[in-house]
Amino acid sequence: MDLIRQTDIAPNGWKTVYIIALLVLSIALTVLFFFWEHYVALKTDNPPLMRLALWTRAKGRLAALYFVSFLAVMGFIPALYNATLFFQEVQSIGSVGTMLLFLPTEVAGIICSILVALLIHRIPAYWLVVIGLLACGFGDMCFAISEKDTNYWKLPFHGTWLIVFGVDLFLPTGLIFVSHFSLPDEYSVASGLFQTLLRLGSSIGLALTSIMFDSQYKISLSDGRNQEEAYLEGIQTSFWLSAAGCWFGVIVAVIALRGLGVFGKDQEQDNRGEKTRDVEGQIRNSNLVDSSDTPTPTAVEKDQKNCKSDSNTEEMM
């Protein structure tokens, strides 16, 4: 993240020598980490810090869920930060007034938390994820098309509650399915990786939106606009980037997470299937059913014939 921020103040931008060196080093270390975890898992008796199978779990759905959460937070944290700048720097609202304008976020968060608890066992998680990302993206768009004199109740109000509502609809659903796709001994690692990607998404999102704001601000000034207009256009560009992140997450979710069903029903079916397989395995292992102990139809018929012949012999005698 610091590398991305440094590109804006470096002498030659991305062409600066230390920027290129740090970028190559960071990519190399990331690739080396995955190779090391693969080596630990296959060649040693020590458990790896992170199983690489997490990235292919559930036919890649877990990795897709991680990536979508990364994109969702890119459209959430930077948007709230830029909304604060929009109210204070563009519309010249004081700190107390800005705090009051953010009250809908608290109400939306509480309502959404209740809705998730009520709907997670009734509605397929696929729709909760898609609706949440769409809502967050539309919230960013409400700020992106707002002007200096736009009335709060016309657009910014809907932007504040939609952003929080969308993310609070997606994140609990995503975390529940992260635990569902993980093995019992992987819960801490899987959820920790989920939280790490959330923090990474917020950090990279803030860095990218800051770069976009600064670039657009300089372009607007060079085109002859005053500082207020240039500042507004920079903020709007940042909001469009946040919205694009959420909507790109919708595309990934539609492709990779299609068929993500109702949590309770899917888990119950999986548990029933596991119990059935366990019982069948126990029966096979303990040899509870032995074909030699079960008389064949021919053997039964023979016993019946012998009984009949013995009774006939006794009657004759």
pLDDT at 314 over 60: no
Do residue 73 and residue 28 come from a single domain? no
Q: Mind listing the pLDDT tens digit for each residue in 12-25? A: 666 677 677 877 88
User: How many domains would you assign to the chain?
Assistant: 3
Do residue 38 and residue 181 come from a single domain? no
pLDDT at 271 over 70: no
Do residue 90 and residue 32 come from a single domain? no
pLDDT at 275 over 50: no
pLDDT of residue 131: 93
Query: What angle, rounded to 10 degrees, do the helices at 156-181 and 61-74 form?
Result: 160
What does the pLDDT average to over 23-34? 85
Q: Is residue 184 in a domain?
A: yes
How many CB atoms within 10 Å of residue 185? 9
Q: Is residue 197 in a domain?
A: yes
Q: Is residue 277 in a domain?
A: yes
pLDDT of residue 12: 65
Q: Is residue 32 in a domain?
A: yes
What does the pLDDT average to over 102-120? 91
pLDDT at 207 over 80: yes
Do residue 171 and residue 27 come from a single domain? no
Q: Tell which residue, 70, 77, 23, has the closest CA to residue 209.
A: 77
Q: Mind listing the pLDDT tens digit for each residue in 136-188? A: 999 999 999 999 999 999 999 999 999 999 999 988 888 888 888 888 888 88
User: b vs e for 124-151, b when ≥16 Cβ sit within 10 Å of the residue's Cβ?
Assistant: bbbebbbbbbbbbbbbbbbbbebeeebe
Q: Is residue 315 in a domain?
A: no
Q: Is residue 180 in a domain?
A: yes
Do residue 30 and residue 83 come from a single domain? no
Gap between the Cα atoms of 279 and 283, Å rounded: 6
Do residue 16 and residue 127 come from a single domain? no
pLDDT at 298 over 90: no
pLDDT of residue 289: 37
Q: Is residue 117 in a domain?
A: yes
Do residue 218 and residue 114 come from a single domain? yes
* 8 Å CB contact between 74 and 245: yes
Do residue 45 and residue 149 come from a single domain? no
Do residue 6 and residue 117 come from a single domain? no
What contacts 161, CB < 8 A, 6 or more positions away? 104, 105, 107, 108, 139
Q: Tell which residue, 98, 90, 269, 83, has the closest CA to residue 160.
A: 83
What does the pLDDT average to over 223-245? 93
Ranking 79-88, 146-155, 197-206 by mean pLDDT, the lowest is 197-206
Burial group, residue 216, by CB count within 10 angstroms (0-12, 13-18, 19+): buried
Do residue 130 and residue 235 come from a single domain? yes
Q: Mind listing the pLDDT tens digit for each residue in 33-50? A: 888 888 888 888 887 878
pLDDT of residue 293: 40
pLDDT of residue 203: 86
Do residue 174 and residue 291 come from a single domain? no
Q: Mind listing the pLDDT tens digit for each residue in 176-192? A: 888 888 888 888 888 88
pLDDT of residue 136: 95
How many CB atoms within 10 Å of residue 115? 16
What contacts 52, CB < 8 A, 6 or more positions away? 34, 37, 38, 41
Give the tokens for residue 78: 């930077």
**Which of 223, 243, 261 represents a domain boundary (last residue)?**
261
Q: Is residue 69 in a domain?
A: yes
pLDDT at 1 over 80: no
pLDDT of residue 284: 44
Do residue 104 and residue 235 come from a single domain? yes
- Please report, for the domain that includes residue 228, its CATH number: 1.20.1250.20
Domain containing residue 25:
1-49
Gap between the Cα atoms of 62 and 197, Å rounded: 13
